[in-house]
Amino acid sequence: MGVLNVTPDSFSDGGRWLDPDAAVTHGLRMVADGADVVDVGGESTRPGADPVPVHEELRRVLPVVEALIPHVRVSIDTRKTEVAEAALEAGATLVNDVSASLAPVARAAGAGWVAMHMKGDPRTMQRAPIYDDVVAEVTAFLVDRASTAGMDEVWIDPGIGFGKTLEHNLALLAHLRDLVATGYPVVVGTSRKAFLGRLTGDAPTGDRVEASVATAAWAMSQGAAMVRVHDVGPTVEAAKRLAR
Ligand code: HH2
């Protein structure tokens, strides 16, 4: 799954694909590099991000979704019912839902749904998140949401970096097989995230490619069915090597 953020403020590619033509060109580039799905988002969910009004999110994502539909499976990365509905109407077939609350919208359209775990909301989620047992709590939450969704295609995602400390993220990655064992296909998004910066001497986002590919490869080796990445080419290369 290639990440396409049509936003001014995403933590790693904010502002780069705000122009619809540039966004579509980048989306097609990821398809050429081997992405099976392009995940289009119009609202940053980085820690501290401000919410975006519906009309603005629609204005950002819809032209890009429409242009990519003939070329690749498109997922819509949103927390808003209206945006998910409009993107599905335009031809998207997967709702990537960091709020894990849009199952009815995906179900009504006969689309797939990615349920992600997040503790709190983006504005406050990184203020000292606490769990007794992060792996057990995230797994239980996701199984509950997935099993009550009432649809065929449900993916679960531990939500790396969403209300989690470095230690929480590492525990979830170390125990990814617990999530895989639930039987639901698992999505993992580590790409360029802050915890990788911390592990690599405060490397800026552009210098986190190797760490991103390494953690994506780890996730795939543990049974993740999809990885959500900015750097599609090197990740596909790693996936091919794992498959050998
Ligand atoms: N991470 C981000 C956004 N959406 N969706 C899923 N399923 N899993 C993730 O880990 C995930 C996600 C955050 O990354 P990004 O889109 O690059 O940044 P921003 O939220 O700043 O746009």
CA of 241 from ligand 1 middle (Å) equals 25
| 122-147 pLDDT per residue, tens | 888 778 789 999 999 999 999 999 99
Q: Are 77 and 41 in contact (CB under 8 A)?
A: yes
Kindly report the protein residue whose alpha carbon is nearest to atom 2 of ligand 1.
45
Per-residue pLDDT band for 101 (boundaries 50, 70, 90) equals very high
CA distances from 203 to 189, 194, 218, 223 (A): 18, 9, 20, 28
Establish whether 228 is a catalytic residue: yes
Cβ of 23 less than 6 Å from ligand 1: no
Sort strands 112-116 and 73-77 into parallel, antiparallel or unpaired: unpaired
Query: What CATH number should be reported for the domain holding residue 123?
Result: 3.20.20.20
| C-beta of 169 in contact with ligand 1 (< 6 A) | no
What total number of domains does the chain contain? 1
Q: Which residue has the higher pLDDT, 14 or 115?
A: 115
* 104 CA from centroid of ligand 1 (Å): 21
Among 17, 45, 61, 205, which residue has the most ligand 1 atoms within 8 Å of its CB, making it the best to mutate?
45
pLDDT of 47 over the 90 cut: no
Q: How far does the centroid of ligand 1 lie from the alpha carbon of residue 191, in Å?
A: 8
Question: Ligand 1 pocket, 139 CB below 6 A?
Answer: no
Range of the domain at 12: 2-243
Residue 206 class from Cβ within 10 Å (0-12 exposed, 13-18 middle, 19+ buried)?
exposed
CA of 189 to the centre of ligand 1 (A): 7
Q: Is the CB of 1 under 6 A from ligand 1?
A: no
Q: For residue 27, which of 9, 56, 58, 4 has the smallest C-alpha distance?
A: 4
Question: Is 210 a residue whose pLDDT tops 80?
Answer: yes
Marked catalytic residue, from 46, 80, 192, 193: 193
Which of 127, 228, 240, 244 is labelled catalytic?
228
Segment 168-182, tens digit of pLDDT: 999 999 999 999 999
Kindly report whether the global pTM for this prediction surpasses the value 0.75: yes
